[in-house]
Amino acid sequence: MVSNRIVPQVLEDCGKKGVKVVSIFTSGFSEIQTEEGRALEAKVKEIAERSGIILVGPNCMGLYNSKIGLNFIGVDLALHEGKVAFISQSGGLAQNSTVTGRRYGVEILKAVSCGNSALYEPADFLDFFKNDEEINLIAMYVEGAKDGRKLLKSLQEANRKKPVIIWKAGKTAEGTRTVGTHTGVLTGAANVWEAAMKQTKVAKADNFLDLIYTTMTFALESLKGYNLGILSISGGQSVEYTDTLSTTGLGIPILSDETQREIESILPEVGVNTRNPLDMAASWSQPGMVRKVLKAISKDRDINGIVVSIDAHREKTIELIEKDRIKKLTNAIIEARNSTNTPVFVILTATAVEEIALNIFDDFIKAKIPVYRDPAMAANCIRKLADYWTWRESQN
C-alpha cells in the first residue's frame, strides 16, 4: 500500500509496464473535499486516460469475480453458480453483500466497488453487465451520480434486458449530509431519484436488508401476474397474510370451482374453507396433503404464485409426535414447487424457537425457494417481482 501522494507515480509506472486494469484502494482524493484531494484525483484520471488504463476507484475495494478467484480484501471467496452482479459505491457494502448474500440465496458472481469513480462510474459498469451473458440480475448501491442523464439511459437499457435493483442512499437531508463525507459524490434530490427509478421501472430497495431480500426474490423467482394463493395451518395467519399482501396491491382471488373441488377431494375434513386463503388446520400435519394441496392450487389458472406460511413453534410441537416432521414438511413443499412452474414463497413467522426457524430458512434457500421472516417484507418483494415481470411481458 502507498500513500495518496505516491499514487500518480505508481500509475505512471503501471502505464509504462503496459498494465491494463488498475484498482486504487488508497483514499485521500476527492472524498476528503479539499483542493489537494480533488487535484490529485484529476491527475490520476489524466494519467489513466493517457496510458489507456482501465481505472477503478480511487478509494474503493475494486473488483470481485468468484469464478476467476479475483477477491476483495477480507472476504472468503465463494464457489457457486450465481449469476448476480453487484455494483457499489461503498467498498464495505460490496464486501458485505458478497458475504451476507450467500446466506440469503444471493450468489454474487461479479462485483465492483467503484468508490470515487474518477474514470468509470456505476452507469459504465451497468453498461458492461447489461451485455454480460454470465449475469442475469444486477443489484446496485448508489450514493449519487456524476452524470444523471447517462445513468438514467443505462438503467433503462439494462432493465429491459435483465432486472436491475437499486438501493439509493442519502435520500433525506440528514442522510445526504452523511454521504458527502463518504465517497464525495453528489447525491441529488431524492424526488429526482424516485422519479428516475419509477420511469425506468427498476426495482427499488430502501436499505441493506431490503436490498438483500429483493435481490434474493429476483435471483430465485420470476412472477408473471399479481394473484396469489395462501396456504397455512392457521386462520389467524390467513387473515394476517391476506391483509399484508393485499395492502401492497397483490390479489388473493377466490379459487376456481375446479380447484376447490380438487382440494375438497384431498382434505378429509368437512367444512374446510377451500376458497383462498386456505387454512389447512389439522390436515397440515400430513406433509403428503400439503404437497397435494399445493399442487392443486398451482394448477389454478388464476393463480400466479403461492405463499406458504410456517410457524416453527407449531412444527416443533408436531415433531414431538412425529419424528423428522420438519424435514418432511420442507421436502413436501420443495417437491410441490419443483413439479410445477408456479413460484412458491415461504414466510416463517416470528417464533420462540428462532434456532429452528433458522434451519428451515437455510433449507429453503438451499432449495432456491425465497423465504422471509417478515410478511411485510415478503409482500413488498413479491409485488416488485410481479411489477417487473408483468412489465417485461408487456414489452414484447
Q: Which is nearer to its own copies, 68 or 352 (CB)?
A: 352
Query: Order of strands, edge to edge, in the sheet holding 164-168?
Result: 62-65, 108-113, 84-88, 137-142, 164-168, 203-205
Task: Candidates 1-9, 52-60, 165-173, 288-296: pick the segment binding its own copies (CB under 8 A).
Answer: 165-173
Contact pattern from residue 29 through residue 58 relative to its own copies, giving x for each residue in contact according to CB under 8 A and a dash for the rest: ------------------------------
199-238 residues in contact with its own copies (CB under 8 A) are 206-210, 212, 234-238
- Per CB under 8 A, which region of 41-49, 102-110, 124-132, 147-155 contacts its own copies? 102-110
Distance, CA of 309 to CA of 345 (rounded, Å): 9
Please name the amino acid found at residue 59.
Answer: N
For the chain, counts of helices (H) and of strands (E): 15, 13
N-terminal to C-terminal alpha carbon distance within the chain: 51
CA distance 79 to 54: 27
Out of 123, 252, 308, 336, point to the residue binding its own copies (CB under 8 A). 252
- 358 near its own copies, rule: CB under 8 A: yes
Q: Which helix (H) or strand (E) holds 108?
A: strand 108-113
Residue 375 binds its own copies, judged by CB under 8 A: yes
Nearest approach, Cβ of residue 145 and its own copies (Å) = 16
Residue among 100, 156, 256, 390 that touches its own copies (CB under 8 A): 100
Among 317, 322, 338, 391, binds its own copies (CB under 8 A): 317
Residue list 114-133, contact with its own copies (CB under 8 A): none
Can you say how many angstroms the Cα of residue 171 is from the centroid of all Cα atoms in its chain?
20
Residues in the chain: 396
Which is nearest to 198 in space by CA: 3, 391, 366, 2? 391
| Residues ≥6 apart with Cβ < 8 Å to 118 | 29, 30, 41, 44, 45, 48, 55, 57, 58
Least Å from the CB of residue 340 to its own copies: 24
CB of 254 to its own copies, least distance (A): 9
Closer residue to its own copies (CB): 42 or 350:
350
Q: Which of residues 169-198 bind its own copies (CB under 8 A)?
A: 169-175, 177-179, 181-182
User: C-beta of 308: minimal distance to its own copies in Å?
Assistant: 16
Contact letters (x/-) for its own copies, 78-97, by CB under 8 A?
------------x-xx--x-
Residue 129 · residue 158 · CB < 8 Å: yes
Kindly tell me which of 213 and 388 has the beta carbon lying closer to its own copies.
213
Least distance between its own copies and beta carbon 356 (Å) = 11
- DSSP tag of 282: G
Residue of 192, 196, 266 whose CA lies nearest to 231: 266
Buried/exposed code over 240-249 (b: 16+ C-beta within 10 A; e: otherwise): bbbebbeebe
Give contact residues for its own copies (rule: CB under 8 A). Answer: 74, 90, 92-93, 96, 99-100, 102-104, 143, 169-175, 177-179, 181-182, 206-210, 212, 234-240, 242-244, 246-247, 251-252, 273, 277, 311, 313, 317, 349-352, 354-355, 358, 361, 373-377
